[in-house]
Structure 1
Amino acid sequence: MIGFIGGSGIYDALPLENTREEHVQTPYGEPSAPITVGELEGVEIAFLPRHGRDHQYSPTNAPYRANIYALKALGVERILASNAVGSLREDLPPQTLVVPDQIFDRTRHRPYTFFEDGIVVHMPFADPYCPHMKRHLAESAEEASDAEVVEDGTYVCIEGPQYSTRAESEHFRASGHDIIGMTAIPEAKLAREAEMCYATVTGVTDYDVWKADAEVTLEEVLDNAAANEVAIKETIEHAVRNLPEDHECDCRHAVEGSVNTPEEAIPHETRQKVDLLVGQYLDD
């Protein structure tokens, strides 16, 4: 099963057949919405709108842990995602698709891990996106959409929901970052903790606030997000149809050797809570 997490502007699934709704309860609360499961040319897809069907969850309070856990519980092994982002470069205008390979985290008020209450996991995260999935998404965008596509780049993730100040925007530009958004973290971290391959295609909606003749407005963001929706869905559909069956990579063993707490010291309730995620590493 392939997971698809839709960002701003994408609140409904791809043209799926034999659809059903899955209401998944998790130890971390309810997901953003019931998960739509269906088939695209024989491939099973699980779709989830990150912000809810009516965009009722802000970037800070979206239930990221419940979303990733629910997809894991349904049997999802690989996640394709989308994000609306601002551009920090003149040559990345609105309606460009960017498939980033790095993240710079500036968030402050989000739960970043599944592992708490008596268990500590120190997991490597040098390359936050699955390199195989990232490459496949970029190739799919090039082949399936008419949009300008850029592979690689650093996504600055800010807390929001407010946009940047001009000073912040200039700072991120001076640091050499490429795009800016509000939802890459903790989603990418949680997907890695769940040992799921994860990559995203982002759609540029604005120039942030660094550009002298540009201001970020909700109207502009929504208009460009709507224009990007077609290209993003074309990309995701192509990626699903052509996704290699063999996907052995480091993502699938990311937690191995990373549990720092002796098994006998982990509280029983915590052990039950994270069994889906690390049970295989805790069993004698």
Structure 2
Amino acid sequence: MSIEFAVIGGTGLTEIEGLEVIHREVVHTPYGEPSGPVTHGMIEGKRIAFLARHGYTHTIPPHRVNYRANLWALKSLGVEKVVAIAAVGGITPEMQPTRLAIPDQIIDYTYGRAHTFFEDGLTHVTHIDFSHPYCAEMRTALLAAGECANLDVVPRGTYAATQGPRLETAAEIARLERDGCDLVGMTAMPEASLARELGLCYASCAVVANWAAGKDSEEITMDEIRDNLITGMANVRALLRALIC
């Protein structure tokens, strides 16, 4: 049975409720070790793969994730579609904590990350079209699943990918908003572009964990983020169940 799709879990999602685990597979890649073994499982009669982006004990910070190894491992197992879950900060008014959003654009502010497969042993220089960074087919499927599950999903948005692991300053968030960003997170890049290089149908479900710096009068705390992710990730699980059905 082929893998229906893979889920890359972000902060707050290190396992999928209701997943009947078949086995866990350690995959070695030319780009080093992935964040952990790939979990193969069944849910609602369909086979999926799961990989925790930050490791199953959540110890890998966003700037140290081996994005190339993770995507290469999934591709090597025959995966063609990927749903990436990401915890983010909300910048614009509709991106309030606990809401889900299916972003359609990215602005990359990261640096120093291994961001391409096309660098060594090439017969020619290779470019990819990245005008629309997320797979339209998977975005449509996620939006339909959100409607089916009666979830309040924001259908689009621009994701600002920052370096981390620190959170941003209020001035940086003001700049991101001037740039047209709706959400801020630390893992969209180079994950999305690497998926495109491998020909994977890749889309993201962003879970708003907190208001970004300067968007609320209160200081951002890890307790706040954790509490919002409890609700947000419950919605993600409902979305994934609807997507699988």
TM-score surpassing 0.5? yes
Asked whether 1:4 is paired with 2:38, we answer no
1:189 equivalent among 157, 172, 193: 193
Asked whether 1:28 is paired with 2:31, we answer yes
Query: Counterpart in 2 of 1:101?
Result: 104
2:84 equivalent among 68, 71, 81: 81
Tell me the distance in 2 between the aligned counterparts of 1:174 and 1:128: 21
State the SS of the aligned residue for 2:23.
strand
Q: Where does the alignment leave 5 or more consecutive residues of structure 2 unmatched?
A: none
Deviation at 1:41, TM superposition (A): 2.6
- The 5 Å alignment of 1:61-140 reads 61-119=64-122, 120-140=125-145
Give the TM-score of the pair, scaled to structure 2: 0.94
1:226 equivalent among 204, 212, 230: 230
**CA deviation vs aligned residue, 1:121-168 (integer Å, no higher than 9, x gap):** 21111100001111211221232154x210011000000001111111
Query: Counterpart in 2 of 1:237?
Result: 241
Tell me the distance in 2 between the aligned counterparts of 1:20 and 1:227: 29
Distance 1:212 1:199, change over 3 A: closer
Tell me the distance in 2 between the aligned counterparts of 1:145 and 1:19: 30
Tell me the distance in 2 between the aligned counterparts of 1:239 and 1:137: 6
Give the TM-score of the pair, scaled to structure 1: 0.81
Query: Counterpart in 1 of 2:48?
Result: 45
Tell me the distance in 2 between the aligned counterparts of 1:39 and 1:112: 32
Asked whether 1:165 is paired with 2:169, we answer yes
Deviation at 1:181, TM superposition (A): 0.3
Instruction: Report if aligned partners of 2:91, 2:173 keep a CA contact under 8 Å in 1.
Output: yes
Instruction: Report if aligned partners of 1:26, 1:66 keep a CA contact under 8 Å in 2.
Output: yes
Deviation at 1:40, TM superposition (A): 1.8
Q: Which moved more, 1:115-124 or 1:96-105?
A: 115-124
Asked whether 1:207 is paired with 2:211, we answer yes
**CA deviation vs aligned residue, 1:85-110 (integer Å, no higher than 9, x gap):** 00011232101110000000000021
Instruction: Report if aligned partners of 1:13, 1:36 keep a CA contact under 8 Å in 2.
Output: no
**CA deviation vs aligned residue, 1:191-248 (integer Å, no higher than 9, x gap):** 111101000111101111122413222221122112211100111121122xxxxxxx
1:149 equivalent among 153, 156, 174: 153
Letter in 2 for 1:175: D
Instruction: Report if aligned partners of 1:145, 1:235 keep a CA contact under 8 Å in 2.
Output: no
Q: Which runs of 4+ in 1 moved over 3 A?
A: none
1:177 equivalent among 163, 171, 181: 181
State the SS of the aligned residue for 1:60.
helix
Letter in 2 for 1:128: P
State the SS of the aligned residue for 2:64.
coil
What is the count of residue pairs matched by the alignment? 240
Tell me the distance in 2 between the aligned counterparts of 1:187 and 1:158: 13
Tell me the distance in 1 between the aligned counterparts of 2:11 and 2:154: 20
Q: Where does the alignment leave 5 or more consecutive residues of structure 1 unmatched?
A: 242-284
State the Cα RMSD in Å.
1.3
Tell me the distance in 2 between the aligned counterparts of 1:135 and 1:163: 31
Q: Identity percentage over the alignment?
A: 43
Instruction: Report if aligned partners of 1:95, 1:203 keep a CA contact under 8 Å in 2.
Output: yes
